Amino acid sequence: MRIELKQGAVQLGQNQTLRVVDGAGSTVCAVEGSVWITEENQPRDIVLKPGACYRLRERGIALVNSLGGNAAVSFA
């Protein structure tokens, strides 16, 4: 399955994970709630609070997970 998001946010339920494949160069923003991001071949993980953004650095797989409740993320 392939999903193309033109605008808006992806809603994540409590502890739900979104798998991003080959997202290098895309910016992930926490619109609501906090999210945890881990990228393939990156030594550290990222936690975003609402309003914060992070640019994915690696090709491969990145996991975006809601922390402690529902969350929403947008991509640019």
Instruction: Determine how many CB atoms are found less than 10 A away from the CB of residue 6.
Output: 4
Residue 33 included in any domain: yes
User: pTM of this prediction?
Assistant: 0.86
Residue 3 included in any domain: no
Nearest to 64 by CA among 1, 6, 13, 2: 13
Residue 60, domain CATH: 2.60.120.10
Q: What tokens appear for 20 in the block?
A: 């991003």
Residue 27 included in any domain: yes
Residue 5 included in any domain: no
Number of domains in the chain: 1
Q: What percent of the chain has pLDDT over 90?
A: 68
Helix (H, G, I), strand (E, B) or coil at 69: strand
Residue with the bigger pLDDT between 9 and 47: it is 47
Q: Tell me the residue range of the domain where 65 lies.
A: 10-75
